[in-house]
């Protein structure tokens, strides 16, 4: 199987490298990540000359870019995937975009005889590196079954969420709401306990095994205590996801109260030069208000 990979950012780069380790023949391209492209080429990937070139040399192309305009550009712009696509090319968009945008892109792809599945991921850079991402797929079940083995190289959990394109991205929005609110709750709770004079490490040790414990707490609270805000998932990207969630929720008529509150916190951080920090930096929003830093 010949695999194309477009988009070698924080997530795409390790995902591509895991496919190479598993023995897949990869042609990769990213005009905005020269160092990452050199890295995957040194690991055995072929260097693509354009998105069209990648498509022409592949049975399936994986896209991993920031948002729907980037997905559309990768596919439909000059030298895009659609220009190099052969009839029956399969496309797996692993970007996190709005569900309606995913559906529209898939419909346009069919005009080029390109079959598309949306397959956004959760887990951040650490799980992209070790190949244990959660992957949420939307689109024809036959396409999901065809590429399940490939997806299992990159993820520990790979779930078909529905036959309609956009189903995977709908589940991803639900995931991003829960993650964002969970991180904000951790920041608020640890601000409270620190101001009350309780060692945050003791709080972590005491509650992580109970009902309040979570994967988010295990991953993000140690970063908060170490004041390590190196991005595994950037605030600006989470803002993008929550904007998509708010737009989708408003379109459906469902209240998005908690989502909108956390979005305002993240937007404040973006406006104070923290947009490229890890989303655990929500802690800094509380620290600004309280004047109290949290650390071990």
Residue carrying the six token digits 């988010």: 216
3-state percent helix, strand, coil for the chain, nearest multiple of 5: 55, 15, 30
- Which residues on adjacent β-strands are paired with residue 162? 138
Per-residue tokens: 29: 């391209």
Catalytic residue among 17, 127, 172, 220: 172
CA dist., res. 28 & res. 19, Å (int): 11
Place of tokens 């959990």: 157
Closest CA to 61 of 10, 20, 1, 14: 1
Could you confirm whether 146 is annotated as catalytic? no
Neighbours of 247 (CB within 10 A): 16
N- to C-terminal Cα distance for the chain?
A: 49
Whether 282 and 266 have beta carbons less than 8 Å apart is answered as: yes
**Among 74, 69, 111, 77, which Cα is nearest to 92's?**
74
List C-alpha distances in Å: 215 to 17, 124, 133, 178, 201. Answer: 25, 12, 13, 11, 16
**72: Cα separation from own chain's centroid:** 17
For 5, 67, 98, 243, the CA distances from 254, given in Å and listed in that order, are: 36, 23, 16, 14
The residues assigned a catalytic role are: 172
């Amino acid at each position: 199987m010949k695999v194309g990979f477009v988009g070698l950012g924080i997530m795409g780069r390790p995902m591509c490298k895991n496919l190479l380790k598993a023995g897949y023949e990869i042609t990769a391209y990213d005009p905005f990540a020269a160092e990452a492209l050199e890295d995957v080429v040194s690991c055995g990937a072929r260097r693509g000359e354009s998105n069209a070139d990648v498509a022409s040399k592949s049975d399936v192309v994986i896209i991993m870019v920031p948002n729907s305009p980037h997905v559309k550009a990768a596919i439909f712009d000059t030298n895009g995937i659609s220009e190099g696509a052969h009839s029956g090319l399969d496309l797996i968009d692993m970007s996190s975009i709005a569900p309606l945008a995913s559906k529209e892109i898939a419909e346009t792809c069919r005009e080029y005889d390109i079959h598309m599945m949306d397959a956004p991921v959760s887990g951040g850079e650490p799980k992209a590196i070790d190949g244990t991402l959660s992957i949420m797929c939307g689109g024809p079940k036959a396409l999901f079954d065809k590429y399940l083995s490939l997806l299992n190289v990159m993820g520990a959990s790979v779930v078909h969420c529905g036959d309609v394109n956009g189903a995977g991205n709908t589940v991803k929005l639900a995931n991003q709401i829960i993650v964002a609110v969970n991180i904000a709750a951790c920041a608020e709770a640890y601000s409270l306990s620190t101001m009350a004079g309780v060692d945050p490490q003791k709080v972590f040790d005491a509650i992580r095994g109970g009902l309040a414990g979570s994967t988010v707490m295990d991953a993000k609270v140690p970063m908060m205590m170490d004041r390590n805000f190196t991005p595994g998932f950037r605030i600006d990207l989470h803002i993008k996801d929550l904007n998509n969630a708010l737009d989708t929720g408003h379109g459906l008529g469902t209240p998005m109260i908690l989502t909108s509150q956390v979005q305002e916190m993240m937007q404040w951080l973006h406006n104070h030069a923290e947009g490229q920090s890890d989303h655990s930096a929500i802690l800094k929003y509380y620290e600004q208000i309280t004047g109290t830093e949290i650390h071990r």
